[in-house]
Structure 1
Amino acid sequence: MHGKVFAGSVVLHAAAVVAAALVLPERVPTRFGGGGGADEWSSRAEAVASSALAGTLVAGLFAGLAAWVPRLPLEVVNVPNAAFWKSPEHEGELRRRLREDLLGIGTTTVLLLTAVQGALVQAALSGTGRLPWWFFAVLGAWLAGVLGWVLSLALTRYRVPRGPGG
């Protein structure tokens, strides 16, 4: 399931890059200051190539890490309650959870890049070269989500399960 959702996010990002290639003007804002205004402009080809490369690198990184989990030496894994999770009887569940976590954070990161692509297109087509307000809301939600995820990993996801009646 997590693999299919991750793959779907990658396909969505690729579609956003293709759409951007079709609608972007020749001059595109590609770097923005803290206030959301464009600091630097590039060509459409450079903007599309950069977006495609960023998406490919992020997707490749998380897909590669998730594929590596079955062969990952557990000595390099830092997990709460390590003695429990690294024991032979729980190793399979630990690896399954690690793979899910990697694909989950990979999915959200690729979706963030897709939002970046959409914001870039809107900034370019608006003529103002300013990021739209919704991009900051998406970025804030992504940051809050990642923080919440990290806290849940540390506090609940890898705690020792209680036995029956526990």
Structure 2
Amino acid sequence: MRAGSGSSTGESWQERERRREEAVRRARKLPREPSSARARLVLWLSLACWTGVLVWLALTLPERVPTHWSGSGVPDGWSSKAGALAMPVVFLAITLPLVLLSRLVFVAPDLVNAPHREWWTSTVPRVVRFERLVREDIMVITGLTLLLLVSAEVVIAYAAHQPGGAVPWWIFPVALVAYLTLLTLRVVRMYLGGRYRPDVQERALQDRDAT
């Protein structure tokens, strides 16, 4: 290995970085791999739930709506019907664009926090596959986050028809714990499973090229 080399192949780190930049540049011009059906299902299901809840709110909310509660479930903040309907629209506008973050693989891959990033950005086929894997993970995380926000809208719709607008104190902790559990499972799969492991994905890429 030459002095100052960062790899067992004899490449210096400057050569390795140039190779990675070239791989990313070439991959940017290629078609993207389609997302998996499971990732699309999670995202589309969350959007369907969002649409259904928005219609439900528009049809059933009274003119004065509780939108914030104390730790005991007693409302301490209120809004108009129009304000309550605007909230899910804002949630969608903030959450849905997160799916576009996978494009960072093609423009600023060093900003992507994923396992084995240098390996993934060292050849063109790997970069293309890397973007797809990142996109699918973001789609699932975005869908789960949107479902959490939708659950808050369901609570608003429920509370609007309860005496005094009160809700069970445990409802928000349960929703948050469920969300964090699912999110943790997804992140654990990313970092500890075979999803980004070079040995697993190298075989997958070879199988694809052989077909």
Decide: shared fold, TM above 0.5.
yes
Higher relative contact order (CA 8 A, sep 6+): 1
Q: Aligned-pair distance for 1:134?
A: 4.5
- State whether structure 2 residue 101 is matched by structure 1 residue 65: yes
Task: Report the counterpart of residue 120 of structure 2 in structure 1.
Answer: 85
| Residue range with higher mean Cα deviation, 18-27 or 71-80 | 71-80
* Structure 1 residues 10-159: aligned runs within 5 Å: 10-59=47-96, 61-66=97-102, 68=103, 71-88=106-123, 89-132=125-168, 133-156=170-193, 157-159=195-197
Give the SS at the match of 2:198.
Answer: coil
| 1:110 counterpart SS class | helix
User: What TM-score, normalized by structure 1, do the two folds share?
Assistant: 0.83
Opposite residue 33 of structure 1, the aligned amino acid is: S
Residues 60-111 of structure 1 show CA distances to partners (whole Å, capped at 9, x for unaligned) of: x223334x35634212222222232222142122111000001000111111
How far apart are the structure 2 equivalents of 1:65 and 1:84? 20
Instruction: After TM superposition, give the deviation of residue 4 of structure 1 in Å.
Output: 4.7
Higher mean Cα deviation, 7-16 or 130-139? 130-139
Q: Would the alpha carbon gap of residues 108 and 71 (structure 1) be closer, same or farther in structure 2, given more than 3 Å must change?
A: same
Tell which deviates more after alignment, 46-55 or 82-91: 82-91
Name the CA distance, whole Å, in 2 between partners of 1:87 and 1:71. Answer: 12
- The aligned amino acid for 1:19 is W
Percent of matched pairs sharing the same residue: 31
Unmatched runs of 5 consecutive residues or more in structure 1: none
CA distance in 2 between partners of 1:134 and 1:46 (Å): 22
TM-score normalised by L of structure 2? 0.67
Amino acid at match of 1:64: L
Instruction: Give the corresponding residue for 1:3.
Output: 40
Q: Tell me, yes or no, if the aligned pair for 2:104 and 2:112 is still in contact at 8 Å.
A: no
Aligned pair in 2 of structure 1 residues 5, 150: CA closer, same or farther (>3 Å)?
closer
**Unpaired stretches in structure 2, ≥5 consecutive residues:** 1-36, 204-211
Aligned residue-pair number = 162
Larger Rg: 2
Determine if contact 1:85/1:91 at 8 Å carries over to the other structure: yes
RMSD of aligned Cα (Å) = 2.3
